[in-house]
A and B are shown apart, each in its own frame.
Chain A
Amino acid sequence: MRQPFVLLPTSVDPRSSVYQQNHRKNTESIAELTKALAAAREGGGAKYIERHRERGKLLARERIELLLDRDSYFLELCALAGHGIRGVTTGAGVIGGVGLVSGVECLITANDPTVKGGAINEIALQKSLRLGEIAVNNHLPAISLTESAGADLPNQSKIFVPGGATFRGLTQRSKQRVPTICLVFGSSTAGGAYLPGMSDYVVMVDKQAQVYLAGPPLVRMATGEISDHEELGGARMHSQVSGVSDYLAANEVDAIRLGREIVAHLNWKKPYEPEPGDVKPPLYDADELLGIVSPDHRIPYDVREVIARVVDGSRFSEFKPLYGSTLVCGWAHIHGYPVGILGNNGILFSESANKGAQFIALCNQISVPLLFFQNITGFMVGRQYEEQGIIKNGAKLINAVSNSEVPAITIMLGASYGAGNYGMNGRAYQPRFLFTWPTHRIAVMGGEQLAGVLEIIQREAAEKKGEPIDEKQLTMAKAMIQHQIDQESTAMFASARIWDDGVIDPRDTRTVIGISLSAACNTPVVGTTSWGVFRH
């Protein structure tokens, strides 16, 4: 037997009313997610899609589908960027994700020209930078399908300065032996011209690509020279004269074929792949996750029930099961990849924080990737706990998380409040990938708690000044702030701001982790034994 780990038991009763109720509510939130994702697929809407098609062009998603190997997966990333943000369409006019091209795991990005001609706004820039970060962190060759009107000019102030990082990133990736391939389907001008300009390989589509620093009107204004688009920046000129393009594609399909051909010659070899063998799926149905996990974060559940529905064969080798029980740690395999899992089973105490820090160090010692199942309302508070040094013990966990060098993936299952977010490898701690479940909530604290805290502070202030409290106004203010905080801590709100790499259907958790782990393993998995100074 490949892994003599223990089969996790389950105590789920699918007939119970709690299970049924959870399942119903979770199904509703998945429906909401599905709706939001559908909005992402709509791009700039029917009218602009029609117009784009009339020009005989493929839609951005069609280009991606054709670029991908047949039967390949495509894990779309940050699909909900900009969702619900005024002036930004869902997805922000950029589509990105990981998929197989000529058998190689690649990071694919595509401008959606049906969204304001593919113009780059602030969210689109953030998303592009995040996608670039994923490519560089995981050593994924990147292919960008470019057709963009350039900067969203009225909002240039929000993108001009940070936007420069795009081009620096491209050449730095090149230096780090992570090739970049740019397929130009349309306009890529001014600053945008540096996108092909800084890429390792450039393919331009004949009679479609337009790549120049300044278009004919601007040139005429600047120097009086009269020129047309083709002369100035057409695919033929760049392929035959300037050398900005390496390959001239007859049409869009040909460009995609060339892109696949380029990847095929990259001689790409992953440093690590699991032993080929029979990967056993979990013993329990992933659909049961919807009945197990309560959308109400105050109602606890055993995170092992989640682990049992994600890991190979539902087998788990638990570390320190009798110590610091609010943080479950242990080893398992996912799609054959070994992982060290940390999952919250309640708030973090000193013991659980210490256990987590030790576990992360152990995983680094043996170079095993980490997986965080984050569902944390915070570290324990109170006099006794402060006396026991909850701060220094929490700091040990954060130290370990910050300095760990094995790939880590974080799944936000439910709550993510306070410093718990940090200790459990939140966004700022740069997990390779971070995904959330639809019922996930993220904030410095819960809306109710935050409103309660504000009430106490206001009452104390009023008391100090000796002023009476306007109860009615306070109640109203409390309700408003609670509503605002609740709104701003949803998974959708977070995902729209690219605080994660996507909201996923909980039933897809195993699949998404499998793809992410496999992508992450394009870098060598080598743990560290050096850490920041631990305060004991």
Chain B
Amino acid sequence: MNWVQTMPVLRKILVANRGEIARRIFVTCRRLGFSTVGITSDVDRFAPHLSLADEVVQIGGTDSQSSYLSIDKIVDAARKTGADAIHPGYGFLAENTAFAQRCEDEGILFIGPSAETIRVMGSKILSKQRVSAFGVPTIPGYAGPRQDTAFLVETIRDVGFPCLIKASAGGGGKGMRRLDDDYDLVEQIEMSRREAEKAFGDGTLFIERWIDRPRHIEVQILGDVFGNVVHLFERECSIQRRHQKIVEESPSSALSPELRSDICQAAINVARSVSYVNAGTVEFVLAPNGEWYFLEMNTRLQVEHPVTEMVLGLDLVELQLLVAQGRSLADILPPPVQRGVAIECRLYAEDPAVGYLPSIGTLVDWYIPSFEGIRLDSGVETGSEVSVYYDPMLAKLVAWGPDRAVAARRMATALRYSSICGVSTNRQLLHAIVSHPLYGTGEIHTGFLEEQFGLRPAFDLSRQMCVRAAILAAAAGHQQRQRGKQHVPGLISGYRNNRGVGQQVTFLTQEHVISLEYIDLGAGKFEFRVNDDAEMRRMVQLREAVEAPSITEANSQARTWSLTIDHLTIQTRVVITEQGTYVRFATGELIVLREQPRFPEQSTSHQLDNRCVSPMPGKVAQIHVAVGQSVSAGDLLVTIEAMKMEHAVRAPHAGVVQEILVLVSDQVAAHQPVVVVAEP
């Protein structure tokens, strides 16, 4: 066959990404017999995904700019290792025209569409023009070259509120803002522009009308070099927080067969408009009245591609590699058939209760159960550090079921059993979403999350639950200490021949202070008293139990206990660390308890009210005030950039800026004072 000679020779693939997607690509490469090359920044050197690569090039750098966004370093790594192709994954350089072009120029196969396609679809303005010509409807708004703030303010007022500002080059919600009114308009535009510049190197913004209660429908397409374009059906990604998808599913419960056929055909047309090759996603917005519009096309593998894979039984990375080698879709892809329903949840290291503030730290437990239909795409393991430098997504949990109800139930169960400790996560929120009755009916839209859970979804733990957790923490801590006991180890602990009090221990949870007293009765039995309920004696028994099978590696620090308090037994998982005790009940609650030290460290200083502190570790992006300047309460003082987001430090009260304690680009720690505002 003569096509063999014209086909690019593909032996070694460099994956220009990190975390779960790098791992996922390595796995397919390995299965298909390709050699693999990983790259790593200084931060990721010991990340678990790298153990799946044959070779790893340490390209250095800490933040994205100096590592995974550095075209020179990556091309250099490919040359050094003799890689003949680069898979960009998603994010970073996946939709970077310059990078795709550079690969073309260097003779390295870029696994994705052409640089030209990326350029066109990367511009919201160009892409809309192009698809309109193919008869695909687009949303009213402005997508043009004029970018001066005054003009944009004017345009926004013309399109009317509510409306959206978006980064022309971006996706994933970066630089995107919804505006409800005139308030702070200039600042909002400028913040979007800065975020867009930082994230995509292009500050071009566009404006579009806000559609109320829309659903986000996207279609997976695949094109080959022979001009074949097929669709792999839709995904629905309407569950979003701050314009970022967190729960995705396929198929969408909103599409009738006719509508599905129309939208999928439109997606094919969009792809045709740029002679699309490789995998891509065409995003649409579906209004409650059934109208739908083209939103944008993502010229890469999407984060949420696993739901398509689960429903169609395909490996999209494999298909990408095959079409990149010049294979015809007609040869490699039988007509796909949707089977069952798949739901994906994105597990983030963040705290929904404080506005999804990213959370950093060490994962002291990373346990995801292995049930039927459950798939985990993860880039972390127990012991992983979640840093400020990259996106805080930890993993994607996917559940498949013969129907939507089964898939949702499996997802809920997997989330309930999961134990993720050391950073705050959105696990409980995801659990609440997939268990929500409205979610169950399929009546969702992109505002669903905020509408049902608010801007800061919080899950208050009952005091009773915290007391249980404290009892468990005390008993489990006791059992751990007993293992290393010296001097008469067989003796019952805390023995008193003159019986006065039991062992006292106080735990702090986020909301409660729980003081306990316990007496060891031997063989895992205890008598507990909860101090504010001193009359109540609780008989407690702790038995070592067996954890449900897991997808994740075993954690030697974690213990699975069966806890009986009086007559109720609960299965639990406990991890005891220096920082605290993490308790996960099989009913889903995860409670972090800090033991009040018996001997408090002498406090040397106390927080002064007029010091304004950084909300989290990060880098000083901008200082908005000068010493001596008068400020009002709520005025923006400093912008801290962390986890690729901007965080405002605002004046707590009116006054005069007395001292600025940082410089632009300084790294700051959480709670580090940055500005002192003297009260007038």
Contact = CB atoms under 8 A, between A and B. Distances in A.
Instruction: State yes or no: do A and B come from one complex.
Output: yes
Contacts of A462: none
B602 A73 contact: no
B250 to A, nearest CB: 53
B487 A511 contact: no
B497 A512 contact: yes
Contact of A103 (B486, B491, B493, B494): B486
A79 B493 contact: no
B494 A72 contact: yes
Contact of B498 (A40, A250, A254, A336): A40
A59 to B, nearest CB: 10
A404 B463 CA distance: 60
B208 interface: no
Contacts of B512: none
B570 interface: no
Contact of B487 (A65, A250, A518): A518
B555 interface: no
Interface string B473-492: 00000100110011111111
Given A41-B498, A70-B481, A253 B599 contact: yes
Interface stretch (B446-454, B499-507, B544-552): B499-507
B504 A65 contact: yes
A512 B497 CA distance: 8
B347 to A, nearest CB: 36
Interface string A444-463: 00000000000000000000
Given A70-B503, A250-B602, A281 B496 contact: no
A66 B596 CA distance: 13
A525 interface: no
A103 B487 CA distance: 8
Nearest to A261: B599
A72 B496 CA distance: 9
B496 A514 contact: no
Contacts of A515: 488, 491, 495
Contacts of B501: 65
Contacts of A276: 489
Given A70-B598, A71-B478, A511-B492, A105 B487 contact: yes
A514 B491 contact: yes
Contact of B599 (A256, A502, A511): A256
A10 B485 CA distance: 32
B248 interface: no
A40 B499 CA distance: 11
B476 to A, nearest CB: 13
Majority SS of interface residues in chain B? loop
A112 to B, nearest CB: 13
B84 interface: no
Interface residues of B, number: 28
A219 interface: no
Contacts of B334: none
Interface in A13-69: 34, 37, 40-41, 61, 65-66
A115 to B, nearest CB: 16
Contacts of A103: 486-487
B488 A76 contact: no
A264 to B, nearest CB: 12
B176 to A, nearest CB: 52
B597 to A, nearest CB: 10
Contact of B497 (A253, A281, A508, A518): A508
A71 B486 contact: no
B498 A73 contact: no
Interface string B606-645: 0000000000000000000000000000000000000000
A100 interface: yes
Given A279-B490, A511-B492, A71 B482 contact: yes
B600 interface: yes
Given A65-B504, A279-B490, A74 B598 contact: no
Contacts of B520: 71
B490 A71 contact: no
Contact of A76 (B492, B496, B505, B598): B496
A152 interface: no
Interface string B580-617: 00000000000000000011101000000000000000
B503 A76 contact: no
A504 B504 contact: no
A279 B489 contact: yes
Interface in A294-341: 335-336
A105 B498 CA distance: 18
Contacts of A502: 497
A256 B495 CA distance: 21
Nearest to A79: B498
B481 A505 contact: no
A253 B505 CA distance: 15
Interface string A245-277: 000001001101100100000000000010010
A283 interface: no
Given A70-B481, A276-B489, A253 B495 contact: no
A75 interface: yes
A5 B485 CA distance: 27
A514 B495 CA distance: 12
Contacts of B497: 37, 74-76, 79, 502, 504-505, 508, 511-512
A286 B633 CA distance: 71
B423 to A, nearest CB: 28
A434 B679 CA distance: 70
Given A71-B482, A73-B493, A73-B494, A100 B602 contact: no
A73 B496 contact: yes
Nearest to B482: A71
A281 B490 contact: yes
B556 to A, nearest CB: 21
B491 A73 contact: yes
A41 B500 contact: yes
Nearest to B487: A518
Interface in B234-274: none
Nearest to A514: B488
Tell me which of A70, A75, A279, A518 has the highest count of chain B C-beta atoms within 10 A of its own C-beta: A70
A525 to B, nearest CB: 15
B501 to A, nearest CB: 7
Nearest to B485: A71
Contacts of A505: 497
A250 B498 CA distance: 31
Nearest to A76: B498
B450 to A, nearest CB: 46
A502 B478 CA distance: 29
Interface string A491-525: 00000000000101100100110110010000000
B495 A73 contact: yes
Contacts of B494: 71-73
Contacts of B496: 73-74, 76
B92 to A, nearest CB: 49
B498 A37 contact: yes
A184 to B, nearest CB: 18
Given A504-B497, A508-B497, A512-B497, A66 B598 contact: yes
A65 to B, nearest CB: 7
Interface string A332-353: 0001100000000000000000
A514 B599 contact: no
Nearest to A253: B599
Contacts of A281: 490
A105 B491 CA distance: 14
13 contacts: A40-B498, A41-B498, A41-B500, A61-B500, A65-B504, A71-B485, A74-B496, A76-B497, A100-B487, A254-B599, A273-B486, A281-B490, A514-B488
Closest 9 CB pairs of A and B: A279-B490, A73-B495, A257-B599, A71-B493, A76-B498, A37-B498, A514-B488, A518-B488, A335-B488
Given A74-B496, A100-B487, A253-B600, 20 more contacts: A34-B499, A40-B498, A41-B498, A61-B500, A66-B598, A70-B503, A70-B598, A71-B481, A71-B493, A73-B493, A79-B497, A79-B498, A254-B599, A257-B599, A260-B599, A273-B486, A335-B490, A511-B492, A511-B497, A518-B488
